[in-house]
């Protein structure tokens, strides 16, 4: 694996980790274990049978939880402190060797993982507002497919993966503010407007009927 391919592998793995860390690591470790790819030495640990078994178990747990509205957002919230550091470490380990280059990869990987994680978490919270449960399952399956496709492209077509990664970053920069505005409206502004619409209307001046005052 060339230096360019290692950089693409690290950055792509960091981005995918922000969406689904366990799927990303299971794919990379499994492909290396069966000899289809050659990971950098610092990532060989992912192909260890015991490590793979733990990662696969965690992936199966996430596969189920990720399709249950409410629980998926709780899971995403807890994994904020897992996916982002793991993405940073994967990026740095892909280059290996230490030095300024690894530090740069560590920072870039952390930023990419944080960005994709925020997009996923915000999208899932927005989708959870839907009264039916099917959209949540469909979005979760789409994320799984995206991770598998992303890993395949960054291994087979590194240059195309770099272009796709840049496009994803631009899309995330456009999408994140809109997700925030949409969630803020759903959680706060809509409730205020709904509450205002339910206020009891003021009664008009009383009418007199046969000497008795009646409200209008």
Report yes or no: 127 and 25 within 8 Å, Cβ to Cβ: no
In this predicted structure, what is the pLDDT of residue 90? 95
205 within a domain of the structure (yes/no) = no
42 within a domain of the structure (yes/no) = yes
Low-confidence ranges of the chain (pLDDT < 70): 97, 186-216
Angle between helices 3-33 and 80-95 (to 10 degrees): 110
In this predicted structure, what is the pLDDT of residue 129? 80
61 within a domain of the structure (yes/no) = yes
209 within a domain of the structure (yes/no) = no
Summarised one tens digit per residue, pLDDT across range 89-135 is 999 999 876 788 999 999 999 999 999 999 999 888 888 887 777 88
122 within a domain of the structure (yes/no) = yes
203 within a domain of the structure (yes/no) = no
Contacts of 35 (CB under 8 A, 6+ apart): none
Structural domain count of the chain: 1
123 within a domain of the structure (yes/no) = yes
211 within a domain of the structure (yes/no) = no
Domain containing 36: what range? 3-197
DSSP assignment, residue 187?
I
**Other CB atoms within 10 Å distance of the CB of residue 64:** 11
In this predicted structure, what is the pLDDT of residue 153? 95
CA distances for 39 relative to 1, 29, 42, 151, angstroms:
7, 8, 8, 13
């Amino acid at each position: 694996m060339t230096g360019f391919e290692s950089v693409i592998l690290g950055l792509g793995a960091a981005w995918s980790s922000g969406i689904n860390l366990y799927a990303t690591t299971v794919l990379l470790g499994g492909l290396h274990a069966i000899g289809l790819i050659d990971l950098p030495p610092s990532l060989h640990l992912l192909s260890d049978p015991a490590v793979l078994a733990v990662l696969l178990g965690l992936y199966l747990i996430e596969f189920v939880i990720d399709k249950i509205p409410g629980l998926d957002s709780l899971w995403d919230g807890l994994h904020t402190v897992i996916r982002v550091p793991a993405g940073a470490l994967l990026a740095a380990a892909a280059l290996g060797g230490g030095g300024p280059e690894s530090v740069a990869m560590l920072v870039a990987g952390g930023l990419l993982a944080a960005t994709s994680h925020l997009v996923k978490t915000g999208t899932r919270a927005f989708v959870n507002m839907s009264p039916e449960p099917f959209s949540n399952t469909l979005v979760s399956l789409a994320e799984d497919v995206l991770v598998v496709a992303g890993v395949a492209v960054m291994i087979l077509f590194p240059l195309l993966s770099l272009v796709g990664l840049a496009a994803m970053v631009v899309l995330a920069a456009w999408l994140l503010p809109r997700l925030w505005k949409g969630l803020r409206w759903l959680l706060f502004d809509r409730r205020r407007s709904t509450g205002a619409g339910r206020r009891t209307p003021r009664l008009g001046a009383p009418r007199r009927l046969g000497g008795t005052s009646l409200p209008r």
